[in-house]
Amino acid sequence: MTVTRRAAVLGSPIAHSLSPVLHRAAYDELGLTDWSYDRFEVDEAALPGFFEELGPEWAGLSLTMPLKRAVIPLLDGISDTAASVDAVNTVLLTDDGRRLGDNTDIPGMVAALREHGIEEVGSAAILGAGATASSALAALARICTGEVVAYVRSEARAAEMREWGERLDVDVRTADWADAAEALRAPLVIATTPAGTTDALATAVPERPTTLFDVLYDPWPTELAGRWSMFGGAVVSGLDLLVHQAVLQVEQMTGRSPAPLEAMRHAGEKALAAR
């Protein structure tokens, strides 16, 4: 196989990334036999040097932590979506040498929710206040008509979430993490915290839960998601998000649309099952 076009995911740590599995599955389905997709361990200090080595065969890059903000000064421009949260997870390398940044996490969240029948909600709750929480707020700006309550551990984080709310034109109220069990009664709950953080909340799942969007995918299900499903609630997983944002990346990088969503999802599920 002669590779004429290259793409990859960068980040640190990166060994766990499912992006190569998803993108390669798309290439196979689309018949793009001359495309390759790899992963590279790259931190903030090494990122400028990596960019300097990119040749004309490169079509695009996927970025994970800690590079989503660090990459912005290296780009020739970013989309309004990326600018709304100061985070880029997709870099397109154009034929005329430009580096353009976008954020597919936000529309990916919206698409994952819509796939589960969530087109609009009157209110929502967010568990956590990190970078993923700001993307969740940006997604909610598109589908939530009322208040979003963010449950956080510190006043500094609370202030950040209120600032993001103002910037994104979302009505945000903050609450202490000690009261996070109250979040579970919201019409839509988005859990954006690291693995294990929400385990203690599993016993507080209400008898008739609504919809939980848990951005984790490994390990899966989380304690909270498992209990939520057991009680009959709808669950959107981190794999749903990963696949939908990757679909948008494939379409942008290859120029082929639509990307094969189901083939990519199946490949992701198979890879997770093998872990």
Phi, psi (deg, nearest 5) at residue 213: -110, 105
Q: Is the pLDDT of residue 117 over 60?
A: yes
Q: How far is residue 11 from each of residues 41, 45, 79, 121, 211, measured CA to CA in Å?
A: 5, 11, 21, 34, 31
270 belongs to the catalytic site: no
Residue 177 corresponds to which tokens in the numbers above?
């993490």
Residue 116 corresponds to which tokens in the numbers above?
């589960």
> How confident is the model over 126-158, as pLDDT tens digits?
999 988 999 999 999 999 999 999 999 999 999
Neighbouring residues of 267: CB distance < 8 A, sequence distance ≥ 6: 21, 22, 24, 25
Helix axes 155-168, 131-143, angle to 10 degrees: 40
> How confident is the model over 169-204, as pLDDT tens digits?
999 999 999 999 999 999 999 999 999 999 999 999
Going by pLDDT thresholds of 50, 70 and 90, the confidence category of residue 74 is very high
The mean pLDDT value of the chain amounts to 96
Residue 135 corresponds to which tokens in the numbers above?
């993307």
Residue keyed to tokens 């490949």: 267
DSSP output for 121-181: BS-EEEE--SHHHHHHHHHHHHHB-S-EEEEESSHHHHHHHHHHHHHHT--EEEEEGGGGG
Percent of the chain with pLDDT over 90: 96
Going by pLDDT thresholds of 50, 70 and 90, the confidence category of residue 1 is low
Question: CA angle 52-256-268, nearest 5°?
Answer: 80
> How confident is the model over 214-232, as pLDDT tens digits?
999 988 999 999 999 999 9
Supply the pLDDT for residue 146: 97
Of the candidates 110, 122, 150, 108, the one whose C-alpha atom is nearest the C-alpha of residue 210 is 122
CA 30/CA 92 separation, integer angstroms: 19
Phi, psi (deg, nearest 5) at residue 59: -105, -35
Percent of the chain with pLDDT over 70: 99
Name the strand (E) or helix (H) holding 187: none
Query: Can you give the pTM of this predicted structure?
Result: 0.94
Supply the pLDDT for residue 130: 86
Angular region, 39: left φ>0, alpha ψ -120 to 50, beta rest:
beta
Beta strands 99-102 and 58-63 are unpaired
Catalytic residue among 23, 68, 244, 265: 68
SS3 221: coil
In single-letter form, the type of residue at position 49 comes to G
Strand partners, 210: none
